[in-house]
Amino acid sequence: MIDPERALEARKERMLSEHLAARGIRNAVVLKAMRDVPREAFLPPGMELFAYDDGPLPIDEGQTISQPYIVAYMIEALELDGKERVLEIGTGSGYAAAVLSRCVAEVFTVERLAPLAETASATLRELGYHNVSVHVGDGTMGWRKHAPYDAIVVTAGAPGVPRELLEQLAPLGRLVIPVGPTQHLQELVRVRRLADGRLQHEDLCPVRFVPLIGEQGW
C-alpha cells in the first residue's frame, strides 16, 4: 500500500521539476520556498490529493488558490533579494503569502473577505509563518499603515493599476499585477518605480484571475 505522505511528496517533486523548473522558474530561493510550503495545508479538507496539480483550486467564499506555476512566476517577477517588505493584495487561503514569507523579510497581506482572512491568518500562525501580517480591507487601497513597500503583488485582475498602490510603492520598488479590460482575461504587468520617480511598465504574459473588487478595481 502506498504511503499517502510519500505519494504527496512525490507529487510535489514532480510539480517542482515539471511545472516550475521545466517551464523557466530559475530562482533557487523561490523554488526552495515552493518545496518547503505545504500547499495541502491551505486547501479545504479532502482536496489534499490535488495540492500539487498545476492548476487553480476552489477554496471558501467562491474564491480560488492560484496554480503553483503562477505563484512562483509572480514571486520571481518581483526580483527579490530577501530583505524586502512586501505587500500582497488578495490573501485568499494564505498560500502565496506563506511562499513569499520564505523569500523576504516581512509580508503584509490584505483580504477583503473576513472569513478568508481569518482562516488564512490561523493557518499561517499554526504553521509558523510569523513574518506575515493579515489585514481585512479593500485591497485596491493597499495598507498605508506599513507603506512604503519594496514590492507589491496583486493576485486578482484589475481594470488598471490602482493609483493608491502606486503611491505605496517605494523608490526602486516593483509591482506585479494582472490588468485587463474584462474581469476574466488580463495581462500580467510589472511596474518599476525608477530612481527618479518615473514608472516603467512591462507586459509579462497573459493570465486569468478572479476580479479585483474595490474602490479602485471593479
21-71: pLDDT as tens digits: 999 999 999 999 999 999 999 999 999 999 999 999 999 999 999 999 999
> How far is Cα of residue 68 from the mean position of the Cα atoms in its chain?
10
* Cα–Cα nearest to 66, from 40, 96, 86: 96
133 contacts 105 by C-beta, under 8 angstroms: no
Which among 66, 93, 101, 121 is annotated as catalytic?
66
Give the phi and the psi of residue 87 in degrees, each rounded to 5.
-105, 125
2 pLDDT above the threshold of 80: no
pLDDT bracket for residue 5 (50, 70, 90): confident
| Beta-carbon contacts of residue 75 (< 8 Å; ≥ 6 apart) | 27, 30, 33, 96, 99, 100, 103, 153
Percent of the chain having pLDDT more than 70?
99
What does pTM read for this prediction? 0.95
The per-residue pLDDT for range 150-188, each reduced to its tens digit, is 999 999 999 999 999 999 999 999 999 999 998 888 999
**pLDDT bracket for residue 4 (50, 70, 90):** confident
Residues 72, 15: Cα–Cα separation, whole Å = 11
- Tell me whether residue 17 is one of the annotated catalytic residues: no
- Given CATH 3.40.50.150, say whether it is the number of domain 55-207: yes
Query: What ranges do the domains of the chain cover?
Result: 55-207
